[in-house]
A and B are shown apart, each in its own frame.
Chain A
Amino acid sequence: MKRTIPLIIASVTGFVLVGTFFIPYTRDWGDEVLEWFNILAAIAFILGGGNLMKLSLQKISYKRPGWGYAAVTIIAFIATLVIGLGKFGVAPVKEYPTYSLAGPYDEQGSGFWWIFEYVYYPLAATMFSLLAFFIASAAFRAFRAKNVEATILLSTAFIVLLGRTYAGVFLTSWLPDDNVLRLDNMTEWIMNNMNTAGMRAITIGIALGIMSTSLKVLLGVDRSYIGTDDG
């Protein structure tokens, strides 16, 4: 029961959804199930939050190294949750002034908006922008024109990088506007033609991979998602 029923649920759900695609009358079922899927995903975020709380509290109670940061995580988590769920600072809607919860939760000026604008976004954007340094550093150490393939990769990256900067465009600005040797034109040509061709082949490969993986799951060949323990 612990392992067979999940297999049946996955198989039936998947094949029904595939089947609905071929029967016009049942095409709406897919949209409905997609909505259920999104609801479950939202509930899964609650599970994720609960799990984060559980792990952080364990870290604090056992005084493991870095437990102070776990406490900060919990405070940030609870504060954001309370402010967001309570719609703190959300102004009423003009048409329905007596409904205190009617305004959008992310309205400009609300507490949740403040957290997004001044905490979440700066942290997320800066975290990702750090990658610019790490990519550059990794590229400097790893990129060597040892053979034809590496040279092609290196030259293309160099052209695209230069072609997307003012300096790169300035370097070949003395050439006529429609000349293919201008760095900006070369970049555009590479992105629109060579890159499209390579990406198309990769996309076809990915699609084939996803289709075969999906079939393996639906036919019960791949059962890794059920796990191995009995818990």
Chain B
Amino acid sequence: MKQSTLIWIVIVVLSGGFLAWRTAQTGMGRAYVEAETVIAESGETWTIEKTADAKNARSFNPTTESEAIVKLSWPRTIGVWCAAALTIAIFSFLWGDNPFYKLAEAIFVGVSAAYAMVVGFWTMIVNKLFLHLFPQFVVDNILPNLKGADGSYPDVKYLYLVPLVLGVMLLMRLAPQGGWISRWPLAFFIGATAGLRLVHYFQADFVSQIQATIIPLVVLTEQTTMENVSASIRNITLVVGVMTSLVYFFFSWEHVGVVHRISRVGIWVLMITFGASFGYTVMGRVALLAQRLEFLFDDWLWIIDPASRRLIGG
């Protein structure tokens, strides 16, 4: 047996043993829900479940006024274990490419493609396209709240036939013949994006950014002298920083002499920006990493309990 295989077997056996021991000791990885009975006006009843803290399961009292019951939820408990397994599978890539990572990656690809499709279907295709073209069908089956008090339905908007037709043409891309038809909706896509972005970026990113840079270099307000000096330094830094950086981006003049010196200051400002953005990005990723570790140690292993959600465990 190879040494690495032996090491892996030992790690898996020890981890399994630890998990089994901890599950038996603390009941780790369990998820609890608060079951609430809903009574409709017509008299029909059903229950809805909301996430609850484990500690409340111990203070279970069936005579409470709200008739709310905190109980163990098997689907969510399985979910916690599933999420933990997938998290560890992704983290295993740090060791190197392996079947567990590839499996998690394959699941991620499938789920994210379907997730985007489902969200798009319910929010745009049903709520916007079908609602405008087939209002009676949509209101009678999916969106009953849009029915008027007098039983009327929203008006049909025939203009929405345009995106429907373009959408069908877009799907022609999958057909073995006539894929070129999908260029028409694609052209609409590109044209609309270009038209909307042209104006939007001109307004929001070009004009307004220049406008925000036209500020007084010497601030004289009724505040203290120190505050005025501080505000002046801030404004000068901002204006000089923007101007020198823009000079660096301006290639119509050769960067020699004065222009070279100004653009060099611009490079320094940009380097500070890149450094700050790098630090900010790293911290964002580290926060995400901390969140995942918190999930593993708090929700799954019950080793820590920062929000005091359990009486047992850590």
Q: Does A171 contact B (CB under 8 A)?
A: no
Q: Does A179 contact B (CB under 8 A)?
A: no
- Bound state CA distance, A160 and B143, in angstroms? 49
Which of B50, B82, B86, B190 is in CB contact (< 8 Å) with A126?
A: B86
Which residues of chain B come closer than 8 Å to A43, judged between CB atoms?
A: 120, 125, 163, 167, 170-171
- Chain A: CB-nearest residue to B182: A47
Q: Does A23 contact B (CB under 8 A)?
A: no
**A-B pairs with beta carbons under 8 A, tally:** 429
Which of B87, B180, B279 is in CB contact (< 8 Å) with A231?
A: B180
Q: Does B283 contact A (CB under 8 A)?
A: yes
- Chain B: CB-nearest residue to A2: B180
Which of A39, A127, A225 is in CB contact (< 8 Å) with B125?
A: A39
Find out whether the CB atom of A207 lies under 8 angstroms from the CB atom of B241.
Answer: no
Highest count of chain B CB atoms <10 Å: which of A15, A40, A195: A40
- Chain B: CB-nearest residue to A133: B94
- Chain B: CB-nearest residue to A51: B174
- Bound state CA distance, A97 and B118, in angstroms? 23
- Bound state CA distance, A128 and B281, in angstroms? 11
Q: Does B276 contact A (CB under 8 A)?
A: yes
Which residues of chain A come closer than 8 Å to B205, judged between CB atoms?
A: 203-204, 206-207, 210
Q: A123-B86, A126-B86, A206-B205 are in contact. Are A66 and B102 (CB under 8 A)?
A: yes
0 or 1 for each of A43-75: is its CB under 8 Å from B? (1 = yes):
111111111101000000000001001101111
- Bound state CA distance, A85 and B116, in angstroms? 12
Find out whether the CB atom of A13 lies under 8 angstroms from the CB atom of B192.
Answer: yes
- Bound state CA distance, A215 and B193, in angstroms? 11
Q: Does A11 contact B (CB under 8 A)?
A: yes
Q: What's the least CB distance linking A112 to chain B, in Å?
A: 6
Q: Does B107 contact A (CB under 8 A)?
A: yes
0 or 1 for each of B79-123: is its CB under 8 Å from A? (1 = yes):
110111011001101100000001111111111111111111111
Which of B44, B91, B102, B272 is in CB contact (< 8 Å) with A152?
A: B272
Which of B75, B112, B184, B190 is in CB contact (< 8 Å) with A120?
A: B112
Find out whether the CB atom of B249 lies under 8 angstroms from the CB atom of A37.
Answer: no
Which residues of chain A come closer than 8 Å to B142, judged between CB atoms?
A: 99, 101-102
Binds A, one of B19-27, B64-72, B208-216: B208-216
Which of A49, A96, A106, A129 is in CB contact (< 8 Å) with B288?
A: A129
Which residues of chain B come closer than 8 Å to A77, judged between CB atoms?
A: 109-111, 113-114
Chain A interface category by residue count: 35 or more
Q: What's the least CB distance linking B252 to chain A, in Å?
A: 13
Q: What's the least CB distance linking B134 to chain A, in Å?
A: 14
Which of B82, B194, B242 is in CB contact (< 8 Å) with A14?
A: B194
- Bound state CA distance, A37 and B86, in angstroms? 35
Which residues of chain B come closer than 8 Å to A37, judged between CB atoms?
A: 189, 192-193, 196
- Bound state CA distance, A195 and B272, in angstroms? 7
0 or 1 for each of A70-94: is its CB under 8 Å from B? (1 = yes):
1011111111110011000001111
Which residues of chain A come closer than 8 Å to B123, judged between CB atoms?
A: 42
Which residues of chain A come closer than 8 Å to B174, judged between CB atoms?
A: 47, 50-51, 54
Q: A42-B125, A72-B107, A201-B242 are in contact. Are A14 and B144 (CB under 8 A)?
A: no
Find out whether the CB atom of B209 lies under 8 angstroms from the CB atom of A207.
Answer: yes
Q: Mark out the residues of chain A between 17 and 43 whose CB falls within 8 Å of any chain B CB in the assembled complex.
A: 17-18, 21, 30, 32-43
- Bound state CA distance, A191 and B281, in angstroms? 13
Which of B79, B93, B188, B193 is in CB contact (< 8 Å) with A9?
A: B188
Q: What's the least CB distance linking B268 to chain A, in Å?
A: 6
Which residues of chain A come closer than 8 Å to B166, judged between CB atoms?
A: 36, 40
Q: Does A172 contact B (CB under 8 A)?
A: no
- Chain B: CB-nearest residue to A80: B114
Q: Does A148 contact B (CB under 8 A)?
A: yes
Which of B83, B84, B114, B234 is in CB contact (< 8 Å) with A84?
A: B114
Which residues of chain B come closer than 8 Å to A124, judged between CB atoms?
A: 108, 112
A residues touching B (Cβ–Cβ < 8 Å)?
A: 2-3, 5-7, 9-18, 21, 30, 32-52, 54, 66, 69-70, 72-81, 84-85, 91-99, 101-102, 105-106, 108-109, 112, 114-133, 135-136, 139, 148-150, 152-161, 164-165, 190-208, 210-211, 213-215, 217-218, 225-227, 230-231
For the complex of A and B, 9 pairs with smallest distance between CB atoms? A197-B241, A198-B273, A156-B275, A160-B279, A76-B110, A17-B195, A84-B118, A42-B120, A201-B245
A-B contact pairs, 5 of them (CB 8 A): A9-B187, A42-B123, A105-B122, A122-B295, A204-B205
